């Protein structure tokens, strides 16, 4: 297990974030990580970069599975109440599957113990805590 985590850390980079959009995304990723930790997940990496792209969170699930987590964050617009998960397009799903395969190969993970989830974080004006939804196994490998 230690070797796998060591290799995973070697893939991790924290890109510079600037601008309000990126600050909102980083805030959502922190909220998603806290949400998952309270449900028994252990965050192995944040913003894990591979040649295929970046995984927002890489976690160890409660049943020992590895979970690649795509976090979608937005401020709810009453004029346009589209949920954040709508932005996980077919192109994004293909990219997430490729990222998962790269991480599985690099870390020698059994693909049968790997899944891709989506966590949406929606900040509602006038409320302090965001609304968070966890969509299990949202993307097929």
Q: pLDDT tens digits for 17-39?
A: 556 668 999 999 999 999 999 99
pLDDT tens figures, 36-54 = 999 999 999 999 999 999 9
Question: pLDDT value at position 18?
Answer: 54
**Mean of the per-residue pLDDT values of the chain:** 88
Question: pLDDT value at position 79?
Answer: 85
pLDDT tens figures, 57-94 = 999 999 989 999 999 999 998 888 889 999 999 999 99
Coil vs helix vs strand at 80 = coil
> What is the mean pLDDT of the segment spanning 136-140?
95
Distance CA 10, CA 5 (A): 9
Instruction: Look at residue 99 and tell me whether its pLDDT is greater than 80.
Output: yes
Domains, the chain: 2-139 (3.40.1350.10)
b/e string for 18-44 if b means 16 or more Cβ within 10 A? eeeeeebbbebbebbbebbeeeebebb
Ramachandran class of 53: left when φ > 0, alpha when ψ lies in -120 to 50, beta otherwise: left
Q: In what order do the strands lie in the sheet with 42-50?
A: 42-50, 53-60, 66-75, 114-123, 131-139
pTM summary value: 0.86
Phi, psi (deg, nearest 5) at residue 72:
-115, 120
Please report, for the chain, how many H helices and E strands are present, in that order: 3, 5
């Amino acid at each position: 297990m230690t070797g796998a985590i060591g290799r995973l850390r070697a893939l991790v980079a924290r890109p510079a974030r600037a601008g309000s959009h990126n600050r909102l995304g980083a805030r959502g990723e922190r909220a998603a990580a806290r949400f998952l930790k309270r449900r028994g997940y252990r965050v192995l990496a944040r913003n894990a970069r591979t040649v295929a792209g970046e995984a927002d969170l890489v976690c160890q699930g409660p049943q020992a599975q590895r979970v690649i987590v795509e976090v979608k964050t937005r401020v709810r617009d009453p004029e346009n109440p589209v949920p954040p998960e709508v932005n996980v397009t077919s192109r994004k799903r293909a990219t997430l599957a490729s990222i998962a395969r790269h991480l599985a190969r690099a870390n020698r993970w059994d693909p049968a113990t790997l899944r891709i989830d989506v966590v949406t974080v929606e900040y509602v004006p006038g409320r302090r805590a965001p609304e968070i939804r966890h969509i299990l196994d949202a993307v097929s490998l």
